[in-house]
Amino acid sequence: MSELFFDDLTTVNYSSHLLAIVSNGNSIIAEMCRLSEMVPNVFKLNSKQDQLKYGELICDFSYFKNSDAFERKLEQNQQLTDLDQELKNNYIEILTRFFIGFESAHKYITDLNKFIEDLDDGVYIQQSIESVLDDEDGKQLLCEAIYIYGIILLTIDQKIEGQIRERLLVSFSRYSVQLTNTESKIEDICALFCSTGYTPQRRPVNYPQDYFNRIKPNAQYLNLIIGRLRTDDIYNQLSIYPQTDHRSTALANQAAMLYITLYFQPDILHNQNSIMREIIDKFFPDNFVISIYMGTVVNLIDAWDTFKAAKQALANTLEINNLKRICLNMQKMFDSSNESLKKILNENHLGDEEFVLKNCDKLMKLSKQSNVVLRWILLHAYPNTQIEQNGICPKRCKAVRELILNEFKYDPIATFNMLLCVSEFELQLKLHIKEILGKKEENWSKYRTETYQLLDELADVFSGNKPLSRLKRMKHLKNGLDNSHIKLKI
């Protein structure tokens, strides 16, 4: 009994701790997205007026190399001192909020690494990384934890420019570090979030793998997570999407997590041909544009252009005949789904309770198929202007997209109309199923009463009291029907 108690207690402890880490990671992403819209214009130094007025006061990390000289210059110029005080009074609150956001992101990975160390050291009794991965919830949370860390880094780097981050951190360190006792943390935070050189128009060499490895997660943990993401169905989606054509949609979330996690082990992307071929065959046999988080879209042609093994494996998906076959299949699915949706909606079949109950499986299948084809065409047909304008891999991305548009015979109006049909179909189906479930108890009572009455009538018939032509008296059937009342009540 005591062993069972301690086993349950440690399971709750590790799962609640891990869940808190992952939940905190998602809140950090939301906060950094909000903050990215609140960067004060003076720290951007976009206008000549701001550059002339604040250029001597707002510095990047070069400040730390000559901080004493900077402060002496400030003391010798009363005008600069007054302007510096004005900056402090006006922006100290938002600077503090930015610093707390960066500090939280840094704490996220340190907390995650500490959790993995505790698992290895036996802090959670009878638990290890392997045993946690054997638990369904633990497996999902461990995979999400490293994925969220990668998303945090990308969100911060892509939404808050590196030079602006440096200016914000330097200004905070000058104005507030003495008040918040963060001297020991700020160096680590600056090391993690110093400029990577990334801009929408330019991607640095070895980006984002070098950025991801500034604070690298536990190596054993990474290997186990990548292995589990490669081979397992961690969200059990394949049972919901059993059809082969729906496989990439079923594993879409897992594919996004694997895409992010692979940057922590770039050797796989560069040199592990067999592993990358396995990943492509499982996750990307018919798709190469993926949503990695909340509408952030990545084109693998562009993202993996500098990774030899990944690029070579993806070439099988991008082979022209394969793309034509995919487009043909998707077009057939699009046409058949669109026709079925319009027929059901026009004839108002979803208002018929008997039709809904009888064809529930077919209706759900139609909904899944419609969403699969819509998701595919919206991702692969929509122009990613950022990729096509950044000069990294514009021609290949554009050529493949044009091939898809031509082969699929893409019509944006028809696609939009189908999107409206699917929305209306799912809304009506949901409302009618909800209505049917709401009347479940009422219908059960009604049908049970009717069944009692029919059984009583049959019992009377076989008792001989209510004679029917050509029907003999059968006492055993009368007794059986009388006893059925007891069974129904049970």
- 370 with 385, same domain: the answer is yes
pLDDT of residue 35: 96
411-466 pLDDT tens trace: 999 999 999 999 999 999 999 888 888 888 888 888 888 888 877 777 777 666 66
- 32 with 170, same domain: the answer is yes
The answer to whether residue 340 is domain-embedded is yes
| Number of structural domains in the chain | 4
How far is it, in rounded angstroms, from Cα 281 to Cα 231? 12
- 217 with 358, same domain: the answer is no
pLDDT of residue 181: 52
The answer to whether residue 276 is domain-embedded is yes
- 425 with 465, same domain: the answer is no
- 24 with 56, same domain: the answer is yes
Mean pLDDT of all residues in 312-333: 95
The answer to whether residue 134 is domain-embedded is yes
Confidence band of 467 (pLDDT split at 50, 70, 90): low
Q: Highest mean pLDDT: which of 10-14, 204-208, 454-458, 479-483?
A: 204-208
| 4 pLDDT higher than 50 | no
- 308 with 217, same domain: the answer is yes
The answer to whether residue 402 is domain-embedded is yes
- 91 with 223, same domain: the answer is no
The answer to whether residue 200 is domain-embedded is no
Length of the chain, in residues: 490
Confidence band of 146 (pLDDT split at 50, 70, 90): very high
- 379 with 342, same domain: the answer is yes
Assigned token pair, 187 = 């160096």
pLDDT of residue 67: 84
* Burial state string for 461-478 with b = 16 or more CB within 10 A and e = fewer than 16: bbbeeeeeeeeeeeeeeb
DSSP state of 393: S
Look at residues 318, 344, 370 and tell me which one is the last residue of a structural domain: 318
- 292 with 428, same domain: the answer is no
The answer to whether residue 301 is domain-embedded is yes
Q: Is 363 helix (H, G, I), strand (E, B) or coil?
A: helix
Look at residues 394, 410, 436 and tell me which one is the last residue of a structural domain: 436
Q: Which has the minimum average pLDDT: 166-170, 182-186, 353-357, 456-460?
A: 182-186
pTM (2 d.p.): 0.86
How many other β-carbons are positioned within 10 Å of the β-carbon of residue 152? Answer: 22
Mean pLDDT of all residues in 331-338: 95
- 304 with 331, same domain: the answer is no
Up-side HSE of residue 264: CA atoms within 13 Å toward CB? 25
- 137 with 120, same domain: the answer is yes
The answer to whether residue 65 is domain-embedded is yes
Structural domain that includes position 391: 320-436
The answer to whether residue 236 is domain-embedded is yes
Look at residues 303, 318, 333 and tell me which one is the last residue of a structural domain: 318
- 326 with 399, same domain: the answer is yes
Phi, psi of 474 (to 5 degrees): -135, 95
Phi, psi of 140 (to 5 degrees): -65, -45
